[in-house]
Amino acid sequence: MQAAAPVAEVGVIGGSGFYSFLDDAREVEVQTPYGAPSDRIVVAELAGRTVAFVPRHGADHRHPPHGIPYRANLWALRSLGVRQVVAPCAVGGLQPELGPGTLVVPDQLVDRTSGRVQTFHEDGAVHVSFADPYCPRGRAVALSEAQQAGWSPVDGGTLVVIEGPRFSTRAESQWYSRQGWSLVGMTGHPEAVLARELALCYTTVALVTDLDAGVESAEAVTQAEVFRVFQQNTARLRTLLADVVAALPVDQEACSCAHALDGIDVALPLP
């Protein structure tokens, strides 16, 4: 459903502890075939770009990871004109060198969720390429801007997405670590694949808030600790995201993400 609202070029989906982003923003209510998004979307000018922001869990963190209206969020952003999405998230580190405060721009994803609807296409054979789940141009911009801002970002790594809302057992965490995976989170999927089905550029910027329970002598993960570390870095992360938004390429059609549906018979009309 096409919303009569200001057109936005870039979308930002805020994660745990990241419930606001834009100043002097206008609230935009968008209806979708998949219900309402997590919260009202706000639109504002930022660094010469028109940006739409939605808090993934809602402004009051009312949506648990398995209850986030992922389809509504992505559909609403695209209906506003968004074609590039930046998605910060809080994650656990699965390797000893990825401790709290580390910034990672992952390049791979492993899905360990269950029961989540992860497609817009209920009828017909619509098989999108997902070998490389994140936008290559968005990743390059995020890494470059992070380096210029004084971070020491980690280029690449695998984010394993678990169902939640519970944290991993030590045995699960050790298993993920032995696979060589880098990060564990609860919200990166199906968000990434839904973005691909809408031919959106999608880039995750992951902030490590803790070492997962099974990594060496790490303590059990607590929600309070996750929120504390994320809040310590919120201002710095907000500045970085503004820099990334400003530096994203203007011509999204030149990116491979924009052509994810080329050659596929898609019966669902995209917004």
Q: How far apart are CA 219 and CA 117, in angstroms?
A: 33
Q: How far apart are CA 138 and CA 86, in angstroms?
A: 8
Residues 6 or more apart whose Cβ sits within 8 Å of residue 254: none
**Is 180 in a helix, a strand, or coil?**
coil
Main-chain dihedrals φ then ψ at residue 49, nearest 5 degrees? -115, 150
Q: Which residues are catalytic?
A: 210, 212
Helical pair 223-247 and 136-148, crossing angle rounded to 10 deg:
100
DSSP-derived pairing of the beta strands 10-14 and 49-55 = parallel
DSSP structure string for 140-173: HHHHHHHHHTT---EE--EEEEE--SSPPPHHHH
Main-chain dihedrals φ then ψ at residue 229, nearest 5 degrees? -70, -40
Q: How far apart are CA 259 and CA 270, in angstroms?
A: 13
